[in-house]
Structure 1
Amino acid sequence: MNPALGGASGRLRALPTRLLGQVAILANRCTEKALAPTGSRRYHYALLATLDEHGALSQAEAGRRTGIDRSDVAAAVNDLAGRGLVHRAPDPGDRRRNILVLTPAGRAHLAELDERLEEAQRELLPGFSAAERAHLVLILDRILESHTRAV
């Protein structure tokens, strides 16, 4: 018997909402375990990856692109800037805004996080082929997209 399902009835096992919730718990555990030795967490990774993909962004825009709450973005950016992984400076065009730039140290740290998260994917999805993982990502992305459009 799978302890994550706790002997769940067939009705519970047939509910995508329940299954996704249980998998989300496992996914978060795998992610936190993989990132723990680095001193980084999921928000750190999301911000670093977003800056790497999009270049310099305002702190507010980085929050919007990652879906991280404003206060959580501020705390994560403070930590990343304190570790020299991002550079934060006032926007010359609007001193009320902060612009974030990924530093070379941040880029190196991101590469380490990518490797660790790849291992977390393998831990979460043992026995899944690359094609199966890609298909699962498409399905999950489709769920998110349908709710993003509905909001």
Structure 2
Amino acid sequence: MTRTALDQMECSIARALDVVGTAHAVLILRNAFNGMRTFDAFQAHLGMSSSVLAARLKLLTTAGILEKRPSPTDGRSFEYRLTAKGRDLYPVLVALLHWGETWDASPDGPRLTLVETATGRPVQKMAVRSEDGRALDPREVTAVPGPGAGHKTHSLAGWRRRG
């Protein structure tokens, strides 16, 4: 059985994972969201080889998630900045953070707490919400194929109705 390339699958999750589905890519994004911008800073903090880091940064820039710009302070180096497409991944990383703090918590307390800059108050836990703001359990949500859906998406969406 041959494996379908993720970027060829009829699935938004698979196609997103094709770009950001490695631990290295997610950790680079985490650091970028925390203000890290240079190759040297990423490498020093993440401890990955320069070849792996260069490959992941290239993938993220080619995908339009990061933008590579000349450094304003050193014309020989570059900075990596999140694009609008990259910033749209923020809720995904926050959801992973909240999940990790819930299901793999440190006995000493939270490793990291996100607070709203203006108020200093913790941000709410990520959730899928109804129109009125209620957090919804997965059992309360139905996946409905849209106009771009093909056979596999229709098949997947039908699984819940079968069970």
Aligned partner of 2:39 among 41, 52, 59: 59
For residues 104 and 66 of structure 1, the distance between their equivalents in structure 2, rounded to whole angstroms, comes to 24
Q: CA deviation at 1:115?
A: 2.9
Matches within 5 A, 1:13-24: none
* Cα displacement string for residues 78-125 of structure 1 (whole angstroms, at most 9, x for unaligned residues): 000011111111223323311111122112124224435755x49xxx
Relative to 1, partners in 2 of residues 1:81 and 1:99: Cα closer, same or farther, differing over 3 Å? Answer: same
Q: Indicate the SS of the match to 2:106.
A: helix
Match of 1:44 in 2: 25
Asked if structure 1 preserves the Cα contact closer than 8 Å seen for 2:25 and 2:56, the reply is: yes
Greater RCO between the two (CA within 8 Å, min separation 6)? 1
For residues 93 and 132 of structure 1, the distance between their equivalents in structure 2, rounded to whole angstroms, comes to 40
Unaligned runs of 5+ in 2: 1-12, 111-163
Structure number with bigger Rg: 2
Matches within 5 A, 1:59-138: 59-115=39-95, 121=100, 130=102, 133-135=105-107
For residues 107 and 87 of structure 2, the distance between their equivalents in structure 1, rounded to whole angstroms, comes to 29
Identity of aligned residues (%): 20
Asked if structure 2 preserves the Cα contact closer than 8 Å seen for 1:45 and 1:110, the reply is: no
Asked if structure 1 preserves the Cα contact closer than 8 Å seen for 2:30 and 2:93, the reply is: no
Q: Indicate the SS of the match to 2:67.
A: strand
Relative to 1, partners in 2 of residues 1:137 and 1:88: Cα closer, same or farther, differing over 3 Å? Answer: farther
Judging by fraction of residues, say which structure has more helix: 1
For residues 132 and 75 of structure 1, the distance between their equivalents in structure 2, rounded to whole angstroms, comes to 30
For residues 108 and 49 of structure 1, the distance between their equivalents in structure 2, rounded to whole angstroms, comes to 13
Q: CA RMSD in A?
A: 3.2
Asked if structure 1 preserves the Cα contact closer than 8 Å seen for 2:36 and 2:42, the reply is: no
For residues 70 and 64 of structure 2, the distance between their equivalents in structure 1, rounded to whole angstroms, comes to 16
For residues 79 and 59 of structure 2, the distance between their equivalents in structure 1, rounded to whole angstroms, comes to 15
Judging by fraction of residues, say which structure has more strand: 1
**AA paired with 2:24?**
Y
- Number of positions where the alignment pairs a residue of Structure 1 with one of Structure 2: 96
